[in-house]
């Protein structure tokens, strides 16, 4: 017994070493992928712009210069002005605050709550029944329609979007985490840890969670993309963020009536959403490839 235990302990340390080694090379593998680098740069750039919006934006996003209505993109206004003479670039930089802020909040909240629920669900039978029935109910609504229902009852507002999208995303995260947990807990190394009388907490946090992390991180990037789209969609429909708070969806929505004369009002905000979502997807693909052992063979050559 003692011998077996030391042997297992040995195996664990070697395993830990290889895992560490892999992780280091994992980041390297990711950044060998030029698309992943570009996506990462775009997203961090947008994020930084959102954080420092008041200092980065050339104009006040709500300042109306009536004389300069519908100015085409140029040196004065890089992305032109809208029907009230407001600077589109400034509105989009401030809009990134709403759009990115909502997405970050939703992803962090649903990642935290969803992962916890999934882990609990995968480990405790009785909690599983309850949690799964609740997720069934929440997932019965088609995603955007579920968010619409919540927004209909809460009214427009940035916090309300976060709540609505959180309710849409959280059951999905819980489901995926639960699936991963159920697979992992049948694995030999978990059985071994249980045999060694490791506590449930230790098993969950030291063994299950780190191993479930890589598919989850990929899922979170997709979630981020989905949230950007959903926020823009809700705001576009006029039931997302209130009109006085600029968001990419609001800019797009306001511009559509003037599409014939001012193409930039439609093209620019949409392009911002498109590239942000594309970046999330590409980053997710990159992270997935890192988790794919076939990539290692290729990278080592």
Partner 1 sequence: MLRFLLRRTLTIIPLTLVMAVMMFFLMRLLPGDPALNILGPEATPEEIETLKIEMCLDQPVYYQLANWLGGIVTGDLGKSFYHDMPVSKMLFTALIPTLKLTLLSLLFGILIGTGAGVISAIKQDSLVDRIIVVISTSFMAVPHMWLGLLLVLLFGVVLGWLPVAGYESFKDGGVVSLKYLILPILAMSTAEIGILTKMVRARMLDVLHQDYVLTAKSKGLPFWKVILKHAFKNTLITVVTLSGMMLAGLIGGAVITENIFAIPGMGRLIVTSIVRRDYLVVQSAIMLITFLYLFLNFLVDIIYAFLDPRVSYGSLKG
> What is the smallest separation between the CB atom of 260 and partner 1, expressed in angstroms?
6
Closer Cβ to partner 1, 55 or 153, answer by number = 153
Closer Cβ to partner 1, 177 or 253, answer by number = 253
Instruction: Tell me the residue length of the chain.
Output: 301
Closer Cβ to partner 1, 112 or 124, answer by number = 124
> What is the smallest separation between the CB atom of 12 and partner 1, expressed in angstroms?
34
What one-character DSSP code corresponds to residue 25?
H
Residue of 164, 141, 168, 167 lying closest to 151 (CA atoms): 164
CA angle 167, 170, 175 (to 5 degrees): 135
Ramachandran angles phi, psi of 243, nearest 5°:
-60, -25
> What is the smallest separation between the CB atom of 271 and partner 1, expressed in angstroms?
8
> What is the smallest separation between the CB atom of 179 and partner 1, expressed in angstroms?
12
In whole angstroms, what is the distance from residue 40 CA to residue 53 CA?
19
Closer Cβ to partner 1, 169 or 193, answer by number = 169
In whole angstroms, what is the distance from residue 282 CA to residue 37 CA?
9
> What is the smallest separation between the CB atom of 156 and partner 1, expressed in angstroms?
10
Contacts of residue 125, defined as CB under 8 A and 6 or more positions apart, other chains included, come to none
Tokens representing residue 273 in the block: 């959403």
> What is the smallest separation between the CB atom of 17 and partner 1, expressed in angstroms?
33
Closer Cβ to partner 1, 193 or 222, answer by number = 222
Closer Cβ to partner 1, 192 or 271, answer by number = 271
Q: Catalog residues that contact partner 1 under the rule CB under 8 A.
A: 136-137, 140-145, 148-149, 151-153, 225, 229, 232-233, 236-239, 249, 252-253, 256, 259-260, 263, 266-267, 269-271, 273-275, 277-278, 281-282
In whole angstroms, what is the distance from residue 146 CA to residue 134 CA?
14
For tokens 């988790």, what's the residue? 291
Q: CA-CA distances (angstroms) from residue 253 to 83, 202, 258, 296?
A: 12, 50, 10, 45
């Amino acid at each position: 017994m003692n011998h077996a235990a030391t042997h297992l302990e040995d195996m664990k340390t070697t395993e830990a070493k290889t895992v560490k080694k892999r992780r280091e090379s994992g980041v390297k593998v990711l950044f060998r992928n030029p698309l992943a680098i570009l996506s990462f740069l775009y997203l961090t750039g947008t994020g930084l712009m959102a954080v420092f919006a008041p200092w980065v934006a050339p104009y006040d996003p709500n300042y109306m210069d009536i004389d300069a209505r519908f100015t085409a993109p140029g040196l004065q206004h890089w992305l032109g002005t809208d029907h009230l003479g407001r600077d589109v670039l400034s509105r989009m930089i401030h809009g990134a605050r709403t759009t990115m802020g909502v997405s970050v909040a939703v992803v962090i909240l649903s990642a935290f709550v969803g992962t916890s629920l999934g882990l609990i669900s995968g480990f405790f039978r009785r909690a599983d029944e309850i949690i799964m029935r609740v997720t069934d109910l929440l997932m019965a609504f088609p995603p955007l329609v579920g968010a619409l229902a919540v927004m209909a009852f809460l009214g427009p507002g940035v916090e309300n979007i976060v709540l609505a999208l959180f309710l849409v995303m959280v059951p999905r995260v819980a489901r995926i985490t639960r699936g991963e947990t159920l697979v992992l807990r049948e694995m030999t190394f978990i059985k071994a840890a249980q045999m060694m009388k490791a506590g449930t907490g230790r098993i969950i946090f030291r063994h299950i969670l780190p191993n479930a992390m890589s598919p989850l991180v990929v899922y979170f990037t997709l979630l981020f993309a989905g949230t950007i789209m959903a926020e823009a969609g809700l705001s576009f429909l006029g039931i997302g963020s209130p009109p006085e708070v600029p968001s990419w969806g609001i800019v797009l929505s306001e511009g559509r009536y003037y599409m014939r004369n001012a193409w930039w009002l439609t093209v620019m905000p949409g392009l911002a959403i498109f590239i942000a979502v594309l970046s999330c997807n590409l980053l997710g693909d990159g992270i997935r490839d890192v988790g794919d052992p076939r990539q290692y063979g290729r990278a080592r050559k």
